[in-house]
């Protein structure tokens, strides 16, 4: 069997089981307490403003720049001085969020299998975070960024899911052809429709399915336990 050029795994809800709504509320609640010099709700609102700016990025600047510009605007001052506090949060307190995520003891086996089936294995997590936040979430399922050939973070990416150009940007970074790759995700819009828009075949993992208003039967899909048969 010919190897794929790349397999691109989503993280949240795919390799790392979770209820995204519960995760987001828990994460933002903890983050809001990280900067005691500011009202917690102001921090949460400001961070959300930054997230929305990244989601709407047009490719002209890294998501990281978009975030800090929008967060600073919302807070009325340059918040880049708190970048170290954010990094400390992601390496310490953020680990409390693990309690509301699920287990995936097969994560390493899946990544190992993917390396046998593809030339590259990429962690295609929505690039809304610094590497420290991705590193922490990976650790909850026994993985590290070094287990992948590339990990998308807000430092390098200039688009976000569900924009298909997020996936196109990853393909261009490695000179890949979309039809020779596979995206594995749990979100019919952010993974499914976006990957298709970039010309990449997609397989949906249904354990933590986020359907939006799309039809699951329009996509190749299986449970996480059945995924090895697909890779």
Residue 214's pLDDT band (boundaries 50, 70, 90)? very high
Single residue among 56, 75, 98 that ends a domain in this structure: 98
CB 39 within 8 A of CB 212: no
Q: How far apart are alpha carbons 17 and 143 in whole angstroms?
A: 14
Single residue among 98, 114, 133 that ends a domain in this structure: 98
Do 117 and 200 share a domain, yes or no?
Answer: yes
The whole domain housing 73 covers 22-98
Residue 15's pLDDT band (boundaries 50, 70, 90)? very high
**Alpha helices in 15-125, H assignment, sequence order:** 20-32, 40-55, 63-75, 83-91, 107-117
Do 162 and 218 share a domain, yes or no?
Answer: yes
* pLDDT at residue 1 greater than cutoff 70: no
Angle at 56 between CA 12 and CA 88, to 5 degrees: 50
Do 147 and 45 share a domain, yes or no?
Answer: no
* pLDDT at residue 2 greater than cutoff 90: no
Do 224 and 142 share a domain, yes or no?
Answer: yes
1-5, 100-104, 116-120, 177-181: least confidently modelled range: 1-5
Give the mean pLDDT of the chain. Answer: 98
Residue 176's pLDDT band (boundaries 50, 70, 90)? very high
Do 109 and 170 share a domain, yes or no?
Answer: yes
Do 41 and 149 share a domain, yes or no?
Answer: no
pLDDT in tens, 66-76: 999 999 999 99
Percent of residues, the chain, with pLDDT higher than 70: 100
Do 126 and 205 share a domain, yes or no?
Answer: yes
Domains held by the chain: number: 2
Single residue among 98, 130, 147 that ends a domain in this structure: 98
Give the pLDDT score at 47.
Answer: 98
What phi-psi label fits residue 199: left (phi over 0), alpha (psi between -120 and 50 degrees) or beta?
A: left
């Amino acid at each position: 069997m010919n190897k794929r050029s790349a397999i691109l795994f989503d993280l949240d809800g795919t390799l790392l089981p979770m209820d995204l709504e519960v995760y987001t509320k828990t994460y933002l609640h903890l983050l809001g307490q990280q900067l005691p010099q500011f009202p917690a709700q102001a921090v949460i609102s400001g961070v959300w403003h930054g997230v929305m700016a990244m989601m709407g990025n047009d490719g002209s600047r890294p998501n990281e720049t978009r975030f800090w510009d929008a967060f600073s605007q919302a807070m009325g001052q340059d918040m880049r001085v708190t970048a170290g506090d954010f990094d400390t949060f992601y390496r310490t307190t953020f680990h409390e969020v693990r309690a509301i995520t699920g287990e995936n003891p097969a994560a390493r086996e899946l990544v190992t299998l993917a390396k046998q089936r593809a030339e590259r294995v990429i962690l295609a997590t929505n690039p809304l975070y610094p590497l420290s936040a991705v590193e922490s979430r990976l650790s909850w399922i026994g993985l590290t960024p070094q287990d992948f050939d590339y990990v998308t973070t807000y430092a390098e990416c200039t688009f976000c899911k569900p924009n298909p150009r997020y996936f196109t940007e990853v393909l261009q970074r490695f000179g890949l052809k979309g039809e020779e790759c596979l995206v594995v995700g749990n979100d019919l819009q952010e993974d499914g429709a976006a990957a298709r828009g970039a010309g990449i075949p997609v397989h949906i993992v249904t354990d933590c399915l986020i359907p939006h208003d799309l039809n699951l039967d329009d996509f190749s899909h299986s449970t996480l336990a059945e995924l090895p048969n697909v890779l």
